[in-house]
Structure 1
């Protein structure tokens, strides 16, 4: 059974078998601070799109990224 829920052009994946609490996480990528990136709850960001969800840092939701722009490894600091 395929566990991949979503994959972007840079091979970053959201998988059924990788969750942080009840939130899906992006695998093979991290926030610029080194923490996990989770799919933002829709209430946090109204721009949430199923094919390109907003990903937020698991460290108090301080930083946000578009899933389609994530790269493998640590993300660059966004200003």
Structure 2
């Protein structure tokens, strides 16, 4: 009998005051900004006096060899074309 009454009543949310979720008085504050990890921290750094790269090896690395093109059995060398 008791089981039948419980099944008939079904499940209900508790309505007592101590079972309620308390209301918030004010919304939480926004999260703080992360600190910048850059080295200059907004200050500009002057470029180096000698330039960034001055190396003969660097020039050789980016140098393009002359391009060979065949026109009717004749080899024509073109520079940067």
TM range (shorter): under 0.3
Please give the TM-score of this superposition, normalised by the length of structure 1.
0.14
Structure with the higher strand share, 1 or 2? 1
Please give the TM-score of this superposition, normalised by the length of structure 2.
0.14
Identify the structure with bigger relative contact order (alpha carbons < 8 Å, sequence gap 6+).
Answer: 1
> In terms of Rg, which structure is larger?
2
Structure with the higher helix share, 1 or 2? 2
